[in-house]
Amino acid sequence: MAKCGTTFLWDQLVNRTDKVNYYSKKELGYLSVGSDYEKYLGLFDEQKAGRVFLDATPQYGEFYREFSANAKEALKGQDAQVIFCFRDPVARAFSHYRHDLSTHFWTSMMGDYSFHNEGALRKYLCPYSEMVKSLQNAFGAENVHGFTFKQSKSTLPPSVLKMLGLPKSWKLDLDTNPALGGGVPRVVYDEKRATVLEQDGVLYSLPAKALLICSNRWTMLYPNYPASLAEKFLRHSASWTKEFDRATLGQAWTVIQKDYDATLDALGMPADELKKDGLIPYKGEMRMNDDVLAKLQKIGPVSNIAKQIYKDDAAGEPWTSGNENLPDQAITLPGQTGKIVRAFLTGDLKTRAFELRRTIEQFGPIRIYLTPYIVMQISLGNLDEVIRILELKKHAPRFIDKAKIKTVLDRKSNDLDPKKVDRVRDLAKLD
């Protein structure tokens, strides 16, 4: 099964022994679709005498019926041993899901790819016991062996070691891992503003219109990426499942455990109680590689900012948000939220209006700021400004307190231009 140690075992037998003929890309896959023995052997990179042929293909688990039938025909009369790699079926399923997100990013970003989606559960959650029966029917029960890191640890079955010509004392090297687990890719994009990113305590600036994609295998940076496509990626990546709560499966654990018990029993392995609650955790943000980091503007260490805050405080410097001397396109939203609070506590009306307007223009129709700003401008009689903001932010009616705005507008309407009042009512969808 995928994400159960197949790559690890392949790497150990290829690189730590001289006992196998193998395919350099590891996964042959032929026996899922064909049963011609000579054609099968012809796929191996070399066919040295006295060596065992090693086929390490996780996809055989997904097509086990076809594999078993084809293998039984193709390898009839041959000496064949099967190592069936598996693990906790839910941990395996979620690991396979995250692997596909990371490895097949350009597919999974094109639609809903939540792990909770029925299609995903059917794709990744695979019962084992019927696979084992199928393998044992094709190869003989005595030639089918189970492998899990939890139970097998560093040992291989004696009959496998004998077939390979390895001594009984030969052990797997568990300190190596050629196949790092998949993680949820990192997707970052903003059409209009630069985005600050952190890695190893250092801040970098991703330019506006640049799409950044980080997986556990690679980092890709695309400048001037089309906004409509990038925003589609962001929407779909938001539905990806970062961590999985085992308790979500509820009563399904009864049938999962029953299948797992049957699998272990058929393979002659000790019983193992699966963990039925607790989170399979998020692995954290995917790292950017050095080539991409070199293309980004380096801002500096996070520690410099933190130290400066304490220096300013010790020197009695007035409070700052970090936005004071920045152009509009470089200000930060956290800095603005702090400035607005300060403006309403200590600033005059002009300062409040300026900070609210600046925030709305730069970051959109933020609910808690848009209504106060419109109410303030109506109270001051500035309907031209209200109309400008409502025309600028087309989705404003979704984010305003219409009752509050209507109350203020009705109260002030006698002092205002009727045409402009009607225009505000229309843009704000008050009627």
Give the model's confidence band at 178: pLDDT under 50 very low, under 70 low, under 90 confident, else very high: confident
Residue that wins the pLDDT comparison between 347 and 97: 97
431 or 306: which leads in pLDDT: 306
Amino acid in position 267: L
pLDDT digits (tens, 9 = 90+) for 13-46: 999 999 999 999 999 999 999 999 999 999 999 9
Q: Average pLDDT, whole number, for the chain?
A: 94
Q: Is the pLDDT reported for residue 182 higher than 80? A: no
For strands 195-199 and 219-222, give the pairing. unpaired
At residue 336 the predicted structure's pLDDT band, cuts being 50, 70 and 90, is very high
What gap in Å lies between CA 67 and CA 382, rounded to an integer?
75
* Residue 207 token pair: 């330019």
Is residue 327 scored above 80 in pLDDT?
yes
Specify the CATH class of 6-181+244-278 in words.
Answer: alpha beta
CA 342 vs CA 216, 274, 314, 348, 360: distances in Å: 42, 54, 20, 10, 17
User: Which structure tokens are listed for 352?
Assistant: 């409040």
Owner of token pair 């159960």: 4
**pLDDT at site 171:** 96
The pLDDT tens digits for 367-404 are 999 999 999 999 999 999 999 999 999 999 999 999 99
Q: pLDDT value at position 323? A: 93
What pLDDT is attached to residue 71? Answer: 96
> The tokens of 367 are what?
């609910």
Write out pLDDT tens, residues 232-247: 999 999 999 999 999 9
pTM of the predicted model, to two decimals? 0.89
What Å distances lie between residue 385 and 269, 273, 347, 352, 403, CA to CA? 75, 67, 21, 15, 20
Q: Dmax of the chain from CA atoms?
A: 100
Contact 89, 125 (CB under 8 A): yes
pLDDT band of 176, cuts 50, 70, 90 = confident
Per-residue pLDDT tens over the stretch 209-229: 999 999 988 899 999 999 999
Backbone angles phi, psi at 186, to 5 degrees: -105, 125
CA torsion through residues 235, 237, 243, 247, sign: positive
Query: Quick one: which of 211, 209, 222 has its CA closest to 329?
Result: 209
Q: How confident is the model at residue 151 (pLDDT cuts 50, 70, 90)?
A: very high
Contacts of 132 (CB under 8 A, 6+ apart): 84, 144, 146, 262, 263, 266, 267
Matching residue, tokens 């996070």: 302
pLDDT tens track for 102-136: 988 889 999 999 999 999 999 999 999 999 999 99
pLDDT of 338 > 90? The answer is yes
DSSP 426: H
CA 180/CA 50 separation, integer angstroms: 32
Q: What is the pLDDT of residue 410?
A: 94
- Which amino acid, one-letter code, is at 186? R
